[in-house]
Structure 1
Amino acid sequence: MTGDARSRAEVDPVSGESGAVPAAGSPDALVGAASDTIELLRAMIREACVNEGHPGSGQEIRNVRVLQRFFADAPVEMQVLEPAPGRSSLIARVRGTDPAAPVLGLLGHLDVVPVDPDGWTRNPFGGELSDGEVWGRGAVDMLYLTAAFATVLRDVALAPEKPRGDLVLLAVADEEAGGDYGLRWLLNTHPDAVAVSEVLSESGGMRMGEHVAIGAAEKGSAGRLLVVQGTPGHASIPYGARSAAYRIGDVLQQLGAVVPAAQLGELWDAFVTARIPDEDLADRLRDPVRLDAALPQLGGIAGYAYAVSRVTISPTVLRAGSTHNVIPGSGSIELDIRTLPGTTDDDVDDLLRAVLGPLSELVEIQHLRGWDATASGTDTPLFAAIERAVESVAGSPVVPIMAAGGSDARLFRELGVPAYGFGLLGPSWSYERYREGVHGHDERIDVESVALSLEALRLIVADRIG
């Protein structure tokens, strides 16, 4: 149901209970109004569109079919586009009446990351609703928002009056593996189908003290492969050989011993002001020289603060040797390197050489896939609409933040389209809780957070294109 009221005899599909009609605007009314979104979220979780990074995985066509059924009785224009069998994205559009009005894109992905079932206490693809929470892989990242986007699009399509501007749901494949079978492919091959003037997507809604975090930027990626050479030999006679495995160890030791210096960007002060009430600690965090010594006092937010205050270097994949009785003559280390705005490829290579010191002469640096850091300004009409909506629903100011990871939103920012990480999670959803849920065991979202996000989203849509 899409209205705020229920008949007194109706059983609430969210709580499973019957009772009196809640007052409009009350928490119970908000949750009741989100019941369609909750059921759509559960259905999408059950499709298990697991993206393992190879072309045949994902099979997002299953969630495309779920959305098509959801829109079946609404006047929504739909296109299903796929670069490979089953790797489908759905573009759903409600056209507005004013060609000069904004075209608002709601960017959600349909794929989810793999799970280790042994780490879960419930079926990760059961979509169970228990004690006010929906359980399952993708509940937080980001099927709850994709479901909310779809709900609002259907509401707009069924409204008696058409909107001024277009509203477009971009329900895409392959976000979890970089978008080659999703948004990146769509932008390259079907740019008209996905053309929008502003975008809402994931990576927002967490609580930063009294503030609600809205994603306005993302770090870049500059992956590197370090190739090291040794002297091979028979493993039974190691004298005179120099194993590349030892050299990999030397490189790893050096990478672990040197910490890249802090570089505090435009959003850093806003983060510190919102999250750190202790003025002395906040002052130390604003000082690049004293920042690292203050990090241990931040508790669970320390990892985020470290990540967004510098370029980070993380060894992830090691390779050396192919059989147990041969000393390897070569080896490699894959590095996940996340960059700040303005960091170039040359800057990354120079940083690696500085970190490795004398070892850099023994290491060949090869470039892997990457992209620049991206940001959208906070002086746009869409960001102002987000601020008004969050204040109206939650009574909270917003704080723009930089995401340590990446999302498809960067692909729009690269084109100059403002894109923001949206959401409005419940008061208990600190950044730490959000990060634990994303890609973690027992991923789940509470129905209050879904309802709050849905209510704020409706206000934003009405503000921008209503």
Structure 2
Amino acid sequence: MARLPGADPTLPALLLQGHLDVVPAEPGEWTVPPFAGEIRDGQLWGRGAVDMKCFCAMALTVVKSFVDSGTRPRRDVVLAFVADEEDRGEFGAQWLTRQHRSLFEGCAAAISETGGYTFHAPAVDGHDVRLYPVGTAERGTAHLKLTARGRAGHGSRRNDENAVIRLVAALNRLAMHEWPITLTPTVRAFLWRTGDALGVDVDQSDIEGTLARLGPAAALAETTVRNSTTPTMLEAGYKVNVIPGEATGQVDTRVLPGAEASFLSEIDELLGPHIEREFVTKQPPVQASLDSPWFTAMSDALLSEDPEAVVVPYCMGGGTDAKAFTPLGIECYGFDPLWLPKGFPYAKMAHGVDERVPVQGLRFGARVLQHFLRHC
């Protein structure tokens, strides 16, 4: 934790939060050693290059430039570099916000990973449009443990109270359920602004058709137009000829902002009788202001480096530590600016093999962040 004083102490502070932990990497699968931090072909290779040491490095570079030059950002900047985001966040951002809430007093907004990067999309007339999606929302994350109980018995005999069958049937109902399309303010704004930039007609009565017409840009919204329930883990039984009295499964659920109560109610209906559910983890959705001075300042910062940038809000399908800071009244944005060349497989980088980021993209991002901190 650190705090960089700003030029105007009367202004609310800005939080720059990032996690330093990374997921594992199997060296034998990589072209370069995953923890060597090697620069090759104009790119910085290594686990965490995208998720999310790039942001941490750019933020520290900008802070160092302020200190070295004797200049200040417009407002106080609070820096928080934490652990544990790639697991549950219990010993990182969540612990900090529970035990040391005073460190974030006066912070009105925060920026962190996943947003502000170049996304190349073809317009209807064929020219390349450079979208820069800024995260203004996240779906909520709830990992559910389901327990089915029944009557234990011999595998050769009829058993209408088979816990495994009860569990599998409930999981199948969850997996096959078609959650309805729901447009949150962020996704609605993304569709209209992106459609306008690409020359695509947006039909609110046919969102699936609209997404199809958006082409590659649909990838930024297609997972966030509805809730999701994905079974991921199963455990039951101890011998093939024994019907167990209990079976358990886990489900990854994601819920849109504003839909939590109805979402859980519908899950309970789908589960039906004989199934108990409990939360393994539960983190709420995030929704920040779309047309705020913060968003405007991010747009201006990107336009200062790329005058043809089309800055759009978008909703993240997964989650970040923003879920820990939002309950403090902090507006959290995904703003991790990077210039990316056309064809760069950014979506495959986080948690993927051969994770890397262009060095020029990092330099672009540092300049954007510096502009943002000077003017926001």
Normalised to the residue count of structure 2, the TM-score between the two structures is 0.87
Comparing 267-276 and 134-143, the one that deviates more: 267-276
Q: Partner residue of 1:418?
A: 331
Q: Partner residue of 2:221?
A: 305
2:364 to 428, 435, 452: 452
Does the aligned pair in 2 maintain the 1:234–1:325 contact within 8 Å? Answer: yes
Does the aligned pair in 1 maintain the 2:286–2:326 contact within 8 Å? Answer: yes
Q: Pick closer, same or farther for the CA change 1:116–1:298 going to 2, 3 Å.
A: farther
Q: Partner residue of 1:256?
A: 175
- Confirm or deny that 1:394 pairs with 2:306: yes
Post-superposition offset of 1:428 = 3.3
- Confirm or deny that 1:230 pairs with 2:150: yes
Post-superposition offset of 1:201 = 0.7
Letter paired with 2:15: G
Does the aligned pair in 1 maintain the 2:17–2:112 contact within 8 Å? Answer: yes
1:367 to 248, 266, 279: 279
- Confirm or deny that 1:350 pairs with 2:265: yes
- Confirm or deny that 1:167 pairs with 2:80: no
Q: Deviations over 1:145-170 (max 9, x none)?
A: 10111111111122234455322221
Q: Deviations over 1:217-248 (max 9, x none)?
A: 1111233222222332244x344475433333
Does the aligned pair in 2 maintain the 1:233–1:241 contact within 8 Å? Answer: no
Letter paired with 1:340: L
Post-superposition offset of 1:353 = 3.6
Which runs of structure 2 are paired with 1:34-433 in the superposition (5 Å)? 91-195=1-105, 196-208=107-119, 209=121, 210-235=130-155, 237-240=156-159, 243-276=162-195, 277=198, 279-280=200-201, 282-283=202-203, 286-287=204-205, 290-292=206-208, 304-344=220-260, 346-354=261-269, 356=270, 360-395=272-307, 396-428=309-341, 433=345
Q: Pick closer, same or farther for the CA change 1:102–1:366 going to 2, 3 Å.
A: closer
Q: Partner residue of 1:76?
A: none
Post-superposition offset of 1:409 = 1.9
CA distance in 1, matches of 2:157, 2:98: 53
Does the aligned pair in 2 maintain the 1:425–1:453 contact within 8 Å? Answer: yes
Q: Pick closer, same or farther for the CA change 1:233–1:149 going to 2, 3 Å.
A: same
CA distance in 2, matches of 1:168, 1:115: 31
Does the aligned pair in 1 maintain the 2:74–2:374 contact within 8 Å? Answer: no
Does the aligned pair in 1 maintain the 2:72–2:374 contact within 8 Å? Answer: no
Does the aligned pair in 1 maintain the 2:34–2:46 contact within 8 Å? Answer: yes
Aligned with 1:177: secondary structure?
coil
Letter paired with 2:153: G
Aligned with 1:205: secondary structure?
coil
Using CA pairs under 8 Å that are at least 6 residues apart, name the structure with larger relative contact order, 1 or 2. 2
More strand by share: 2
Post-superposition offset of 1:275 = 4.2
Q: Pick closer, same or farther for the CA change 1:293–1:230 going to 2, 3 Å.
A: farther
Note the aligned Cα RMSD (angstroms).
2.5
Post-superposition offset of 1:326 = 2.6
CA distance in 1, matches of 2:233, 2:360: 40
Aligned with 1:318: secondary structure?
strand
Does the aligned pair in 2 maintain the 1:94–1:156 contact within 8 Å? Answer: no
Letter paired with 1:426: W
CA distance in 1, matches of 2:210, 2:178: 15
Q: Pick closer, same or farther for the CA change 1:353–1:102 going to 2, 3 Å.
A: closer
Post-superposition offset of 1:293 = 6.2
Q: Tell me the number of residue pairs that the alignment of Structure 1 and Structure 2 aligns.
A: 363
Q: Partner residue of 1:86?
A: none
- Identity across aligned pairs (percent)? 34
Select the structure of larger CA radius of gyration.
Answer: 1
Q: Deviations over 1:295-351 (max 9, x none)?
A: 66766665653321111111111111134443222112211111111123x422321
Q: Deviations over 1:355-379 (max 9, x none)?
A: x3xx612322333321221111133
Does the aligned pair in 2 maintain the 1:232–1:328 contact within 8 Å? Answer: yes
CA distance in 2, matches of 1:296, 1:226: 35
Q: Partner residue of 2:373?
A: 461
Post-superposition offset of 1:388 = 0.8
Q: Pick closer, same or farther for the CA change 1:463–1:261 going to 2, 3 Å.
A: same
Q: Deviations over 1:195-234 (max 9, x none)?
A: 3332111110233433211111111123322222233224
Normalised to the residue count of structure 1, the TM-score between the two structures is 0.71
Does the aligned pair in 1 maintain the 2:340–2:358 contact within 8 Å? Answer: no
User: 5+ unaligned residues in a row in structure 1: which ranges?
Assistant: 1-90
Does the aligned pair in 2 maintain the 1:349–1:365 contact within 8 Å? Answer: no
CA distance in 1, matches of 2:279, 2:185: 28
Does the aligned pair in 1 maintain the 2:283–2:323 contact within 8 Å? Answer: no
User: 5+ unaligned residues in a row in structure 2: which ranges?
Assistant: 122-129
Letter paired with 1:165: R
Comparing 363-372 and 331-340, the one that deviates more: 363-372
